[in-house]
Amino acid sequence: MARAVDPVGTAAGGWDTVRGRERQLQSDNGSGGPVEETPVDIIVVDDSPTQVEYLRRILLDAGYTVRTASGAEACLGSCRTSPPALILSDLVMPGISGLELVRAVRNDRELCDIPVILLTADHDPEHVIDALRAGAANYVSKPFVPEVLIQRIGWTLEAHGYARSPTPIPSGPGLFATLRSALEDAATRARELERSRAALAAAIRQRDELVAVVAHDLRTPLQVLQGHASLAARDGTGRILAGLAEVVNDQTATMVRLIDDLVDATQAESGVLQVQPQPIDLVKVIASCVVAMRHRWPNHPMTADGPASAMIHADGRRLAQVVTNLLDNAAKYSDAGSPIAVTVIERSDAVQVSIADRGIGIPKAQRQVIFERHGRTDAGRAKASGSGLGLFICRELIHLHGGTVTVEDNPPTGSRFVVTLPRDSGATRSG
């Protein structure tokens, strides 16, 4: 007599009868592999041809023979011609729904033994209960992973006498298979919930940290402005008033930078950060950044080395933002008086910019993390306030140019950030 394939690979072999009808079981061929003779026949019912094809492929790969039907009526017709071992049907279909199909099968004396598995829209318990109430043998929540689908089909067939379980089924086999499915779903849901809870807790921690940093970094320049304004108001000589414009300029620039970083980081995260490449002289861009940063960090000697010019196709404003952030960090994370060196090296197809400092350095283990959103080192946190957004934005901007940014040691102490940019990035926007 012909034997059915055990798609789950759990059957140990043998024969069984269910509700008086003899059914064929998997037999082990001694090598542990399935015996391929008469595969189990399944009808897949779904109004979506793509979904039908997807399910068909999964079932074929698992060793079943598959018939397909685009709706419940076609399925019932096919069943009457030749009853399948199992029906796998979508719950929601135009015309006759999956639930009505289950009822029709149950009420048909010829077909009532055929187990029906319904594909329900999500983990909604209402759907599952409706399906089981209507007489479905089991259910699979969408979206599903193919392994879960195959496992559910295996359990259901097993419960209907198509395979022998490695552990004996105690009683009420249909119920046992469904309970197993429900328990597995519950366990999956619990794992998903735990993962979401941990991710949410991390996001809340990051948000709190960001709020504290933003509050601090906005309050500090405001306090400086307030202090200078009140000094100027009390100063009869007008000397403080004369310097006030520069203080206002510097402090508001700091605040605007922070706000810009927040906007850029949000855009980078949603993939809409843009660059507008055009022919630029990178050396010129870097030189003007160095001038501005010498002004901002007068206690850090800054040197710049390289060719007289380096023409590339890139977004000059965005590259200035990157270089400024790297120079700012080099100063922020090193002591006053410690030098910062910028070097530009031209290659045939790319230009390399390195920014080296003699600061606190970055441990090897944290050289990836610092390019993540809010990624900071412990030493960095202890040394200076920061949002942890700058390098995240830098990396996105450099990637948009088709380039790379990495960090290495700068022996004997400090870090060296290396930005490599292709001469012609061809980039226009993130994606």
Contact status: 390 vs ligand ADP (CB under 6 A): yes
Nearest by Cα to 40 from 115, 108, 105, 144 = 115
Window contacting ligand ADP (CB under 6 A); options: 73-81, 162-170, 282-290, 381-389: 381-389
Residue whose C-beta lies closest to ligand ADP: 380
- Residues with Cβ within 8 Å of 324's Cβ and at least 6 positions away in sequence, in order, are 289, 292, 293
In this structure, what token pair is assigned to residue 177? Answer: 């298979």
Amino acid at 336: A
Q: Which of residues 253-292 bind ligand ADP (CB under 6 A)?
A: none
Q: Does 156 bind ligand ADP (CB under 6 A)?
A: no
Cβ neighbour number for residue 48 with a 10 Å cutoff: 12
What letter would DSSP give residue 429?
A: B
- β-pairing, 302-305 with 138-141? unpaired
64 lies in the binding site for ligand ADP (CB under 6 A)? no
* Residues 340 and 302: beta-carbon distance below 8 Å: yes
Asked if residue 221 binds ligand ADP (CB under 6 A), the reply is no
**Which one of 27, 89, 141, 387 is in contact with ligand ADP (CB under 6 A)?**
387
- Of the candidates 388, 401, 403, 405, which one interacts with ligand ADP according to CB under 6 A? 388
Q: Considering beta carbons, is residue 316 or 386 the nearer one to ligand ADP?
A: 386
> Is the CB of 367 or the CB of 423 nearer to ligand ADP?
367
- Please report which helix (H) or strand (E) contains residue 322, including its range: helix 316-332
Q: Is 89 exposed, middle or buried (0-12, 13-18, 19+ CB in 10 A)?
A: buried
Q: How far is the CB of 292 from ligand ADP (least distance, A)?
A: 17
Q: Does 410 bind ligand ADP (CB under 6 A)?
A: no
Task: Report phi then psi at 294, rounded to 5.
Answer: -65, -35
Interaction residues for ligand ADP, span 227-256 (CB under 6 A): none
Contacting ligand ADP (CB under 6 A), which of 415, 420, 422, 425? Answer: 415
Taking CB under 6 A as the criterion, the residue among 84, 161, 386, 403 binding ligand ADP is 386
User: Which range touches ligand ADP (CB under 6 A), out of 96-104, 199-207, 315-323, 379-387?
Assistant: 379-387
428 Cβ contact partners less than 8 Å away, ≥ 6 residues apart:
274, 275, 276, 277
Chain residues 318-347 in contact with ligand ADP, contact rule CB under 6 A: 325, 329-330, 333
The full length of the chain comes to 431
Report CA-CA distances (Å) from 138 to 52, 91, 103, 132, 358.
19, 12, 14, 7, 66
Rule CB under 6 A: say whether 39 interacts with ligand ADP: no
Chain residues that interact with ligand ADP, rule: CB under 6 A: 325, 329-330, 333, 357, 359-362, 370, 375-377, 380, 386-392, 415
